[in-house]
Structures are given as C-alpha cells and as structure tokens.
Structure 1
Amino acid sequence: MNISYELNQELLQDYINIANGLFYPLEGFMNSSDYHSVVDNMTLANGEVWTIPICLDIDYDTYMKVVDSEKLNLTYNHKLIGYILIDDCYMIKNDEVIIKIFGTKDINHPGVKKELLKHKYRIGGKIIVKDETILADNLKPKEIKSYFKNKGWNTIAGFQTRNPIHKAHEHLQRVALEVCDALFINPLVGWKKKGDFSEEAVLTGYKTMIEEYYTGLNIYFDTLKTPMRYAGPKEAIFHAIIRRNLGCTHFIIGRDHAGVGDYYGRYEAQELARYLQSKYNLGIELLLLSEPYYCKKCSQIVSDHTCKHTKDFIQKISGTQIRNMLAKGKRPSEIFMRKEIADSIIQLKENIFIKG
C-alpha cells in the first residue's frame, strides 16, 4: 500500500536540516527510544548529547494506515520529496513530556502552546531524499566548513540571534573575535512568535552593521532556517550542536539564551552548559559570557567581570525597550543601538515585526 503524508513548512525544514547534516548525528526523525531518551536524559539512545526532540507527528488516520508498514512517502505541496523508512510508530503524552522539554506547562509559553497543537502520533526512522532541489538555499555543513578552511580560520565562534544587533550583542561578538580567528553570525529565520523582529529587520540591521563597522573583519554571515522552540537552556545546547555541525569550534551563550518572558533564569542556560561540558565531550567549546551593560561611570559597555560600580551607574541594554522604541519609529539611544542600524530598521515601517 502506497501511503503519503503531506509535510507542513516546519516539518519540511526539519527534514531538510536532517538531510543536509545540520542535525547530525540524526539520520531521520526520532524513534521512540531516542525521543524518550532526549526528553528524560538529554541524550540520544546511544548516549550522545541531544536536547530537543526532532519528530514527525502525523494524524490518527495516517498513523493507523502505516502502523504495520515499512515506508511512508513524504510530500510537500503535494509533490513527492522522499520517504521515511519506518523504524517504529509510537504515541506520546504531551502533558507529561512538555514540562520536561520546556520546564513549564503554562500554555502562555509560545513553545508549549505550539507543542500542544501537534499530533500525539509519531513516526520514527531514517529519511531518504528523492527530490534534491528542496535542499537548495539551505545551509550545507560541507560547504561552510570548506569556506572556513580556505580562509585559514582554525577557530570560529558561532553567534545565535533572532534579533537585530544592538550594543550588548556587539560587545559579545567583539569579545569572541578576540578569542577566535573568526566569527560566524548565524541569525535564526525560522518560525518565531508574533511580535518578534521580522527576518527582514534582522537582516537589514546586520547588513548595515557589517558594511559600516565590521568591514574587513573575519566575519561570516548566513541565516539558519529552523523554528524557535523558546526552550531556554535545552535550546541553547541544541543551537550549539547545530553550530558544531557547521564547523564552529566555539559557541557563545549569554544571558537567557533562547528564553522568553520570565520562564528561565538569567544564566540557567550557562548552568546547563557547565553541567553537560563536565560530563560529555560536546565537540564544541561553549563561551559563557556575562550580560553586557552600559556603565555611566566607565562611559562604555562593560560586564560584571570588568566593572564593579554600583547599580546607580548601570544602564541595562533592554531588548524590550529597543523593540518598543523602534515600533514607534523612534531611534533608541546610541548607548543601546547604533544610529545607522536603528535608522535602517525604522525605514521598514510596518515590516519590522512578525504579525499574527
């Protein structure tokens, strides 16, 4: 029996990232053993660190048709793109596993809300790509690594972001350039929640930064297509693994990496990073950097490692404040964001943010 399943855009992107090697060592969507090991232990069944489930969720009717099958055809826009060699079919209990993934059951958490919309029926197994054209215009580790090698860069720091660059991020990036031969700025441009900065705003800001201030530096810029999970500490490690697969030797984890609201502690991601680095060989060095802020006494961007002035002198670089000002068409203080970047984003007008 020839059974097909139509992938949505996010499942397609996971499929592409598996095929291209961004999600190495995964060769397909997770089977039950890998899924439960990731949720419970933050490792695949073979013991290798992995912190975010990558699953193929399917509807009940398809599940019942393929439960005894060996293969499921995968389509996108009703065109065959490949298939999955079925290792197993299984069901999950969303309410039991969600708190293990996100640390909360609160349906107001965007990752939790999104996860609850997925089918509880899952198919695990290796994927086989039949239409190679779907892999175009996506990051390919072999090509990125070859570029780094040709440049003679031996150490490369990866930087993850979903926002336009501001002074705090610039500080972290310049610190990384002091430590490594090069910096790979790799903004995430997959699904994000309503009100987040649009892909156009992020790319416009960085284009301006690179042209105006990073000219001639050892910087490589490209986008990463994968959804935000907003899973905080676990997603920080997931982001590091992806950048390892792309050839980075180092990865920056700052304050509240991949967080949202007040669901995670300011340095909870760094605590998890320290724990996993002490227990496993992650294949990448994690740069755990303190939150940068502006000190009015020092008259520059500092961190608690380089400045001990009292809180009266401290001005936090607030992403929320920057977002609110740009939304009103106002340029934030240059303490927070360079004026050229702010102006380039403001001119996008109604395209600055993701709409519902």
Structure 2
Amino acid sequence: MKKVITGKDIVRQLRADLIGKDSYRGVTLTYTWLANQFGHFSLGFIPTFVGFLILKKYVTEEQAALYAAGAVSLFWLAFETFNFLGPLLSRKSRSAYVFQPAWGNIAFDTITDLIYFWSGALMASILCAYTTMALVMLLILTVMVLYPAYYWYLTKMYLQTPSYPFQFRLSQWSTEHIPDQQIALIRRFLDNRDQGMHLFLFGPKRSGKTSLSVGIATELSIRHHTAVYTSAMKLYCMFFEHDDDTAADVLWTWRKASILVIDDINPGSPIKNDLITPEQFLSFVDTFSTNDINRTVLRQTNVIWVLGDDDVSRKLSERWQDMLLSIGVEKEKLLSLNLQLYSQPAPKAEYDLHMQS
C-alpha cells in the first residue's frame, strides 16, 4: 500500500520545525516555508508601523493606522501582480519554455503571499490604533489563510521527503529542438493516473537527464505523490532491507512510494561501457530471498530510470524494456527518451522564488 502523509505526520513535523535549534540539525523545506511566511508578515507589519509614525502627525491616529495599512497593502498587491503577470503576459518569456510553468500553482502561491503581507499590515494597524474595520479584515484573512497554510506546508513535506539533490521545477528544464512527440511522452508520464509506468532517460554526461528526472518527480511531488530519489548503488542496498528497518524520521520507504527515481544507473559518455546491465540489475532485485516483493514493487510503481547512452548496436533500450517485461510490466507502460541529440539544458530563473515560497 502506497504511503500518504497523515495529520499525525504533519503535527510531528511542525513540532520538529518549531522546537530545537537549526544550527545543529539543518533546515528543512517546511521550516524554510514557515520562516518565509513570517518574513512576508513582517514586510507588511514593519512598513505599516513606520507609515503610522509619519502619518499620525497629520491625521488622527485611527486614520493614520488605516491609511498606512492600506498603502502598504496596495504596494504589495501591485508588486506581486507585476511579478506574476509580467512573465505570464510576455510572449517572449512564454515561448522560451519547453514545459510551461504551472501558472495556477504559482497564482495560488502569489495569493498566499499577499494574505501574509496584508495580515502583517492589519496587525500593525490594530496595535498602533485599534479600529473595528482592521480587526474584521484581519479575522477574514486569518480564516482565508488556513487552507493555503495547510496546503503549502503539506506540499513542502512531500517535496523534502524524497531527498532530491537540488530544487528544480520542470519549467526550468530547457533544451533545443526537442520533438513534440518527446514532450508528449513526458506529459503522458506526468498525467498517468495508473501505477506501473516506466520512463527510461538515456543520454551522455550533461545531457540534462538528471535535471529532467528531478523536474518530473518534483511536479508529481507538488501534486502530493509520494516519491523517492536514489542512486542505483543505494537502491541495491535497499533491496535487502525490510520496511520496518526504516528510521522513524523517514515517512516512507522506496516500496511505499508511488514515484521512484533511479539515478546514475550507468554514467554514459565519455565512459563507454555499462557498469550495470539489465541482467545484473535483475539479479540484485531477486537477491531479496523472502519472496518476490522487489519485483512486485517495481512492477506496480511509476519509475524514472536514468541511464547512460542508448547504444543502438547493443540495443540497450530494448534490453532494459525486456527486463521489465520479464517481471510482468505491460508493454504499453514502457516509455523511452534519448537526450543524446539535444543540447545541454539551461535552467530558467523567472520562477525560482516560487519554488522556495
């Protein structure tokens, strides 16, 4: 049974983020999100307080508090609107993407930020000079922020558990002249609602196969799919582990994940020889002597296989697909993409901040 994050898991993570010192334990994505929202709140609170001190010399304190909060709120509304609509309305910016950003997801993130900006401004207004209007508006925003706070904190948990090597959205992946049918193939994997879909990514060093695999898996994590990122060498050891061997702070094992990214199975060019063949990989799968649980999990999990060059003379793609067919994977669920002919990808930066927020 595939794992999902429960309310108990959220409470445990929240306790870990709020209690203790990050100087010795590291910083999680959930902790970073909490700190980021506190920063948004402060960017509404502090300017409002400063504005109140200036305006109260010219108007009543109640008016000064409301005017300052209103001006700060309008400023952040204009700023975030420009920040969001600029790239969205720019034809040049939109045409540069191989995969369009998830605009709805980014819009939701923008609205969440604005609620925290406005809440900070209204809180400062109430503390400077109480007004019923400011209190009512703050209570409304407090109710409005409950679901976004839950959604984003939960999403960060889905993003941090897989242990991706870097933060990377699919829209940041870029290459030249990739055929439309290859883009459609990746979208087919992304939008697949069944389990057991397998995507092979072939390519030499610096072809972008790892970035592409992380980008695909990240989008699925944002959709609240449980994912695990691992290298092939680590996975070989995991084949021998029981699920109850997992540390308590790990939410799910590779067997409980719905998305598995297996990176560095083979290095690819300039190293010509394959370090691991499909036959050798299957032998590791079968060394778990209790039963065929490893075969069953691989058959029922969506897997991204990051391999080296697809050597046509050795029929590597065909051999890896034959290995999966031998354990019961359906042929129509096998997808293969060769990045060898495409140029090196270059990340885009327009929406990097939304990945962090």
TM norm structure 1: 0.29
Mark the structure with the bigger radius of gyration. 2
TM norm structure 2: 0.29
- Greater relative contact order structure (CA < 8 Å, 6+ sep): 2
More strand by share: 1
